[in-house]
Amino acid sequence: MEINLFKLCSGLKVIGYFMILLVAAIISLSYYAVVVVTWGPELLSGGLHSFLAFFIIIMFHFLLIMLLWSYFMVVFKDPGSVPDNWKPLTEEEVLEAGSSLTLSESIEPEAFTSTHSADGRERRPQVGYCSRCQNGKPPRCHHCSVCQRCVLKMDHHCVWVVNCVGARNYKFFLLFLLYTFLETTMDTFILLPSFIDFFSEAKNHSTSPGNLAVIFLTFVLNLAFALSLLCFVVMHVSLLSSNTTTIEVHEKRRGIRWKYDLGRKKNFEQVFGTKKALWFFPLVSKEDLNNIPALRGLEFPTLSDSEG
């Protein structure tokens, strides 16, 4: 009996739903430990300590709202699908649209094969064809074996959000990473005094065993997530600055400048847009969607375009 590996990959989506429950459980645990057990009661103590507790609870809720908002946008936002029967523009359509696409990018997908330049280096086609989707394949597009479809500017399939991260939800994913890192880091610091007191309180039985267990577990979980997320944040900031996806890291050649790297400012705008007021919110303005083709995921300017 033959085993279809691609069908097995699609079954990984089931794991993602357990991940969503795990995220909800960790958030609920953190909320109980920070707001209900530790800092909520301090609001009634009065004085400077009460003001500090109020500030901490406000910041906790703000980061939590931004975290959840970004998270749900990543979960429910389509990362970008290839339109049915998509194919590159013809030469006449390119001229009419005033597009920067070259003639070589306007050929039928089936006609694209790898060629070699005069210096012997392989020149990979920007537009291809997906045999599994039976459809054209725009630049930077990849087929996801879990979602069973091609995803525009695919970065990776994330089991934590049961969705692919691509051109149209990458900003939301980055904000989710950022706000989760800030939330878990803040939780770690504000629970640190209670964690230090854990051992003396456990010995003196001054706090209920249930609350002690919650504080201990919440501190350890938040510390672990904060440290691991720091690595992911640094990695994706580096990828963002060079306009590279996680998949494309393996495609880049050392010593050759990445053709989509247009400089940090332009690279940043291709993900976050030009509206500064929306940079830290999981939103994209219609004006940016209309003016920045990269946000739609079908066209991407290259070094040759910017230099021309």
Active-site residue list: 158
- Strand pairing partners for 5? none
Q: How many CA atoms lie within 13 A of 109 on its CB side?
A: 17
